[in-house]
Amino acid sequence: MNVYVAATLRGFFERNEVINIEGNTIGRVLDRLRDEYPDAGKVLFDDNGNLRRFIKIYVNDDNFTDQKHWDREFGETDEIYLIPAIAGGAAKRDSIISDERRKETAFDDKEIEKWGNHLLLREIGVKGQKRIKASRVVIFGAGALGSPVIQYLAAAGAGTIKIVDPKEVKPADLQNQVLHTERDIGRPRVASAKDKIRNINRKLEVITENTDPDAGNIEDLIDGFDVVVDCTDNYRTRYLIGDACAITGIPLVFGALYQYEGMVTIFNYEDGPCYRCQFPEPPAPGLVPTCAEGGTISPLPGIIGSIMANEVLKLITGIGAILSGRMLVIDSLYLHSRIVRVERDDECPVCGKDPTIYEVEDFDYEDFCGLKESDDEVPVEGIAAEELAKRIDNGDPITIIDVREPHERAINRFPDAKVIPIGQLARRQKELDPDIDTIFICKEGKRSILAINTLREAGYKGPMYNLKGGIEAAKDIVLSHEGAWL
Ligand SMILES: [Zn+2]
């Protein structure tokens, strides 16, 4: 079985993180470990041979510290984790804000009153609060994750905050973007965000950029900042930000959401991994619904964004243990969380041994994220919603395939549509008639393209069309149409 050793214990295991030990029970594995690493034996066990109480033993996700489990048999793929129960008293870590910059910072009486809650914390104190005031943070995305990150960093007393976001506030944003209100609908998100945090801290310098980051502007956007926070929602921007931060050596606090689950980690901190070390490639377009397509439970961005802001403050003040080289994954539906290791990859094209990406300008992010149509790929033919309505009215022989998830169909459905999930299309292609047109529908017209390409790959030869813009684009027609569309 593989035994994973927590970083704090590795010194007793010849600095090994993972050790393969023969044995199918915890008891046998521990005996062998003691034989091979006598120093570790002394740390793990007391003089009476009992496991010391600050050590916890997990197999996969479950706690098997209690000796009564130690005879239970496990398989070769099960993994043992040895972790100390208390992670406190972390090694001294330097702040990312220099002593010179801290010393140049001063407080007036009002500020001392305002930041009193931090000044009382031994680890932060006056020195830490000065570092927070001296800090310059850039946040990409003023939406769901950006809202708590921006608010908490402003409330914590950050000196300079730059907010980069190209979008305007939409009604659907208010479900989880707590920075914005109904009065902000139609305004740039950055303007709305700036108004809110100016009311929290008048001394805060807020810089707003109502722009979409690209290879041409990303380096200017992050230049001179101490830490970058990625609160965006698409792969193209995430790779762009990740690469630019890795190349320029700026720590990146990363957070992501999907439905009920969120993750947080820190990239590019000292010798830690970068975004590409962890995620070398994005999923194919349409394969994984985006946060916008997949939905998110309202408080989740608050949970994840607050943890991100907390990590930013720990980087700035140099306290505690940070999520560099580790990724926190939280499932808010079942309240399950775990921290997984994230390792630097020697083969990484940005920070590995033989890097191939030195400048973001030389890399094609659109192509990498599959946003371009490749030359040898036959383009998917689209059909406009009006045209589809006409063909239904005329009683044309067509097949409509809805590839959306059941809960999406519950919001608005096409009664004439046959439902086939993308994963079953290849297997169920016999249900389609290759002599008549088949029209594929989804929410935004992206997954339907994936559906058509999937069937092509599976050898289906009949004519296929994609409903352009999906159900979203067809809404007005669908709603105003007299037929039983809804
Ligand atoms: Zn890397």
Nearest alpha-carbon partner for 316 in 116, 50, 128: 128
CA pair distance 180, 189, nearest whole angstrom = 8
Nearest alpha-carbon partner for 472 in 408, 407, 418: 408
Which pTM was predicted?
A: 0.72
Calculate how far, in angstroms, residue 269's C-alpha sits from the geometric centre of ligand 1.
Answer: 11
Calculate how far, in angstroms, residue 130's C-alpha sits from the geometric centre of ligand 1.
Answer: 32
Nearest alpha-carbon partner for 103 in 69, 76, 131, 122: 131
Under 8 Å between Cβ of 192 and 198: no
Under 8 Å between Cβ of 169 and 189: yes
Helix (H) or strand (E) holding 485: none
Residue 92 has pLDDT above 70, yes or no: no
Instruction: Report the share of the chain in percent with pLDDT over 90.
Output: 55
More confidently predicted of 449 and 101: 101
Can you tell me the mean pLDDT for 474-485? 56
CATH architecture of 135-368: 3-Layer(aba) Sandwich (3.40)
Tell me what pLDDT residue 87 has.
37
CA pair distance 176, 184, nearest whole angstrom = 14
Calculate how far, in angstroms, residue 136's C-alpha sits from the geometric centre of ligand 1.
Answer: 24
Cα angle: 254, vertex 325, 251; to 5 degrees: 45
CA pair distance 110, 105, nearest whole angstrom = 15
Residue 303 has pLDDT above 50, yes or no: yes
Calculate how far, in angstroms, residue 351's C-alpha sits from the geometric centre of ligand 1.
Answer: 4
Q: pLDDT-based confidence at 39, cuts 50/70/90?
A: confident
Calculate how far, in angstroms, residue 274's C-alpha sits from the geometric centre of ligand 1.
Answer: 4
Calculate how far, in angstroms, residue 300's C-alpha sits from the geometric centre of ligand 1.
Answer: 28
Tell me what pLDDT residue 287 has.
56
Sign of CA dihedral 25, 26, 28, 29: positive
Calculate how far, in angstroms, residue 281's C-alpha sits from the geometric centre of ligand 1.
Answer: 12
Calculate how far, in angstroms, residue 237's C-alpha sits from the geometric centre of ligand 1.
Answer: 16
Place of tokens 């930000």: 241
Residue 290 has pLDDT above 60, yes or no: no
pLDDT 10s digits, 196-230? 999 999 999 999 999 999 999 999 999 999 999 99
pLDDT 10s digits, 355-408? 999 998 888 888 887 766 555 566 788 898 888 888 888 888 999 999 888 778
Q: What are phi and psi of 467, to 5 degrees?
A: -70, 115
Q: What are phi and psi of 88, to 5 degrees?
A: -65, 175
pLDDT 10s digits, 322-337? 999 999 999 999 898 8
Can you tell me the mean pLDDT for 172-196? 96
Q: What are phi and psi of 69, to 5 degrees?
A: -90, -5
Residues recognised as catalytic: 291, 442
Calculate how far, in angstroms, residue 279's C-alpha sits from the geometric centre of ligand 1.
Answer: 9
Calculate how far, in angstroms, residue 135's C-alpha sits from the geometric centre of ligand 1.
Answer: 25
Segments making up each domain of the chain, as ranges: 2-84, 135-368, 382-480
382-480 is a CATH 3.40.250.10 domain: yes
pLDDT 10s digits, 404-454? 887 788 877 776 789 988 878 888 999 999 999 999 998 888 888 888 888
Sign of CA dihedral 214, 135, 117, 113: negative
Calculate how far, in angstroms, residue 184's C-alpha sits from the geometric centre of ligand 1.
Answer: 39
Which parts of 273-384 fold into alpha helices (H)? 275-278, 291-294, 300-317, 365-368
Q: What are phi and psi of 101, to 5 degrees?
A: -65, -35
- Determine how many CB atoms are found less than 10 A away from the CB of residue 422: 20
2-84 in CATH: which number? 3.10.20.30
Can you tell me the mean pLDDT for 146-171? 97
Tell me what pLDDT residue 195 has.
96
